[in-house]
């Protein structure tokens, strides 16, 4: 399965979700590839950090240009069970191609940065992708720092989801607590971080099941 993590907002946790989901699939024994279409290479660096610390399983990652994405995916799709594509916020050939190629698009929406949610531009990008990829599944994931998430902010997210045809909102917010952030800095998934944060692990595992099936 090809999944693309996309959003117009910077710092919406695209890379953090991409890296966690790729690691969880690798831990589950799947042959997984993390493609990094962001020139900042956060996901490639995350995997390098993981490799440097000797963490197993390794997660294969490589940068990919917008131009190379579509032709390379045609070959890579046969070689990997799952491909997770981390995209840049900018509307670019790469971020568009990644949505056209995906089975599932994950749109993280950080409740702390709702003012950065450029709905119109993101909707235009999704509309274009669906012209070429009408079966694209869209799953919006709320990312929040507080528990419970602010009801007013969640209402904004629900309105956003309702504006995207056939989009779903993941049933629980992902809490961007310290375990998730510290794990991310160290090249770990939240499931590998010690001390274990049971709730954070459970949220990420549920998200993984929602995307890839149980
Ligand atoms: N090295 C780091 N140390 C601490 N916090 C970080 C680090 N990198 C990112 N963050 C924070 O973690 C959260 C998730 O970042 P992430 O890189 O996943 O976002 P992103 O959507 O991929 O951003 P971008 O649009 O820049 O690619 C953000 O709030 C960000 O500020
Ligand atoms: Mg990123």
For residues 180 and 201, what is the distance between their CA atoms, to the nearest angstrom?
A: 9
Q: Mean pLDDT over residues 120-142, rounded? A: 96
Percent with pLDDT over 70 in the chain:
100
Residues with CB under 6 A from ligand 1: 10-16, 38, 40, 42, 89, 181, 185
Percent with pLDDT over 90 in the chain:
91
How far, rounded to the nearest angstrom, does the alpha carbon of residue 42 sit from its chain's CA centroid? 12
pLDDT band at residue 98 using 50, 70 and 90 as cut-offs: very high
- Mean pLDDT over the full length of the chain: 95
- C-alpha of residue 19 to centroid of ligand 2, in Å: 10
- C-alpha of residue 12 to centroid of ligand 2, in Å: 8
Q: Work out the burial of residue 46: count CB atoms within 10 Å of its CB; fewer than 13 is exposed, 13-18 middle, 19 or more buried.
A: buried
Domain of 48 in residue numbering reads as 2-212
> What is the per-residue pLDDT for 147?
86
Pocket test for ligand 1, best of 12, 40, 145 (most atoms within 8 A of CB): 12
203 pLDDT above the threshold of 80:
yes
Contacts of 59 (CB under 8 A, 6+ apart): 19, 22, 23, 26, 32, 34, 47, 50
Residue range 56-84, pLDDT digits in tens:
999 999 999 999 899 999 999 999 999 99
- C-alpha of residue 34 to centroid of ligand 1, in Å: 17
Give the helix ranges, DSSP H, for 53-138.
66-79, 93-101, 119-132
What ligand is nearest to the CA atom of residue 43? 2
> What is the per-residue pLDDT for 110?
95
For residues 195 and 181, what is the distance between their CA atoms, to the nearest angstrom?
A: 13
Q: What is the DSSP letter of 173?
A: P
Residue range 13-35, pLDDT digits in tens:
999 999 999 999 999 999 999 99
Contacts of 9 (CB under 8 A, 6+ apart): 89, 109, 110, 113, 116, 117, 118
Q: Mean pLDDT over residues 42-63, rounded? A: 96
For residues 126 and 107, what is the distance between their CA atoms, to the nearest angstrom?
A: 10
Contacts of 148 (CB under 8 A, 6+ apart): none
118 pLDDT above the threshold of 90:
no
What ligand is nearest to the CA atom of residue 7? 1
Helix (H, G, I), strand (E, B) or coil at 138: strand
pLDDT band at residue 123 using 50, 70 and 90 as cut-offs: very high
214 pLDDT above the threshold of 80:
no
Q: How many domains does the chain have?
A: 1
Pocket test for ligand 1, best of 43, 89, 181, 188 (most atoms within 8 A of CB): 181
Q: Mean pLDDT over residues 117-122, rounded? A: 88
177 pLDDT above the threshold of 90:
no
Closest residue CA from atom 5 of ligand 1 = 181
CATH number at residue 159: 3.40.50.300
What ligand is nearest to the CA atom of residue 10? 1
């Amino acid at each position: 399965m090809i999944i693309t993590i996309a959003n117009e907002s910077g710092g919406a946790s695209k890379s953090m979700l991409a890296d966690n989901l790729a690691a969880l699939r690798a831990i589950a024994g799947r042959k997984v590839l993390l493609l990094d279409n962001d020139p900042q290479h956060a996901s490639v660096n995350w995997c390098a950090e993981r490799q440097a610390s000797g963490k197993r399983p390794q997660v294969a990652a490589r940068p990919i240009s917008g131009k190379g994405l579509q032709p390379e995916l045609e070959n890579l799709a046969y070689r990997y069970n799952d491909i997770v594509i981390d995209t840049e916020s900018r509307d670019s050939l790469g971020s568009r191609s990644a949505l056209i190629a995906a089975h599932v698009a994950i749109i993280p929406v950080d409740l702390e940065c709702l003012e950065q949610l450029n709905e119109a531009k993101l909707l235009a990008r999704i509309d274009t992708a669906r012209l070429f990829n009408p079966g694209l599944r869209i799953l919006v994931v709320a990312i929040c720092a507080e528990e419970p998430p602010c009801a007013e902010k969640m209402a904004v997210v629900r309105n956003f989801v309702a504006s995207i045809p056939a989009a779903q909102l993941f049933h629980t917010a992902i809490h961007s607590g310290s375990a998730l952030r510290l794990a991310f800095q160290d090249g770990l998934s939240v499931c590998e971080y010690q001390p274990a944060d049971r709730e954070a692990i459970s949220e990420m595992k549920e998200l993984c099941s929602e995307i890839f099936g149980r």
